[in-house]
């Protein structure tokens, strides 16, 4: 579904963005990131996020490409209640390769990542919220089926969230990405197998 930014708002608008023929083109600011405390000892909340309000359960999907070059360049989806309660998932460039990465923050951040070994152009991320859980899936333009990345706890009392595309470049400025589509619907399923 082409990107329609009606009702969406930027948290930390990037220095360059435009919607053209239903696609969102973006370029990051300098040293942008979302992270809270764990291991690194810093708090960052200056990454770029274009969110739309949502309450209760849902499924969000986005397809995107990025010009990943520097350590921690990243693009994907974010679910956010506030600076201390959020999840981001998508591609993150680390150890010289693209990894599917998930960061869940419930006060403090955690991080899981695995390398995508096959070649691809576009990545799709899907997040389904059901009660106290976020079910996170991925697929590339070379894969037909969705694959599970993570099942994460997310505080069910935080019903009001923002959902949408997010991207960061913690080591530089000028990371470019393109979001090909974004959709937000009622949950597609509770099935995880």
What backbone phi and psi angles, to 5 degrees, belong to 51? -115, 155
C-alpha neighbours within 13 Å on the C-beta side of residue 23 = 11
8 Å CB contact between 44 and 37 = no
Count up the domains in the chain and report the number. Answer: 1
Position 1 in a domain: no
Position 190 in a domain: no
SS3 of 159, please?
Answer: coil
Q: What is the CATH number of the domain that holds 141?
A: 2.60.120.200
Q: Where are the alpha helices (DSSP H) in 121-183?
A: none
- Domain extent at residue 103: 9-185
8 Å CB contact between 139 and 118 = no
Q: What is the pLDDT at residue 27?
A: 98
Position 193 in a domain: no
DSSP code, position 86: E
Position 4 in a domain: no
Check: pTM over 0.75? Answer yes or no.
yes
Position 122 in a domain: yes
Q: How many residues does the chain have?
A: 193
- Residue found under tokens 């695995």: 114
Position 155 in a domain: yes
Q: What is the rounded distance in angstroms from the CA atom of residue 141 to the CA atom of residue 122?
A: 5
First to last CA, the chain: 25
Show pLDDT as tens, one digit a residue, over the chain (193 residues): 788 899 999 999 999 999 999 999 999 999 999 999 999 999 999 999 999 999 999 999 999 999 999 999 999 999 999 999 999 999 999 999 999 999 999 999 999 999 999 999 999 999 999 999 999 999 999 998 999 999 999 999 999 999 999 999 999 999 999 999 999 999 998 787 7
Position 29 in a domain: yes
Q: What is the pLDDT at residue 183?
A: 97
8 Å CB contact between 162 and 48 = no
SS3 of 7, please?
Answer: coil
Q: What is the rounded distance in angstroms from the CA atom of residue 177 to the CA atom of residue 145?
A: 24
Q: What is the pLDDT at residue 2?
A: 81
Q: What is the rounded distance in angstroms from the CA atom of residue 20 to the CA atom of residue 37?
A: 37
Position 162 in a domain: yes
DSSP code, position 187: -
C-alpha neighbours within 13 Å on the C-beta side of residue 12 = 20
Structure tokens at 30: 């300098």
In the chain, the largest separation of any two C-alpha atoms, in whole Å, equals: 41
């Amino acid at each position: 579904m082409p990107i329609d930014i009606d009702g969406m708002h930027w948290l930390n608008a990037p220095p360059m963005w435009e919607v053209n023929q239903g696609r969102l083109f973006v370029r990051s600011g300098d040293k942008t990131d979302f992270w809270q405390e764990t291991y690194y000892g810093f708090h960052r909340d200056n990454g770029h996020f274009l969110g739309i309000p949502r309450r209760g359960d849902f499924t969000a999907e986005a397809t995107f490409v990025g010009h990943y070059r520097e350590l921690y360049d990243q693009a994907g989806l974010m679910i956010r209640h506030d600076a201390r309660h959020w999840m981001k998932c998508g591609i993150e460039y680390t150890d010289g390769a693209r990894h599917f990465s998930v960061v869940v923050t419930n006060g403090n951040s955690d991080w899981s990542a695995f390398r995508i070994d096959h070649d691809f152009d576009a990545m799709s991320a899907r997040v389904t919220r059901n009660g106290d859980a976020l079910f996170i899936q991925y697929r590339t333009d070379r894969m037909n089926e969705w694959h599970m990345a993570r099942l994460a706890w997310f505080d069910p009392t935080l019903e009001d969230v923002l959902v949408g595309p997010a991207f960061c470049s913690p080591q530089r400025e000028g990371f470019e990405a393109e979001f090909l589509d974004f959709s937000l619907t009622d949950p597609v399923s509770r099935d995880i197998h």
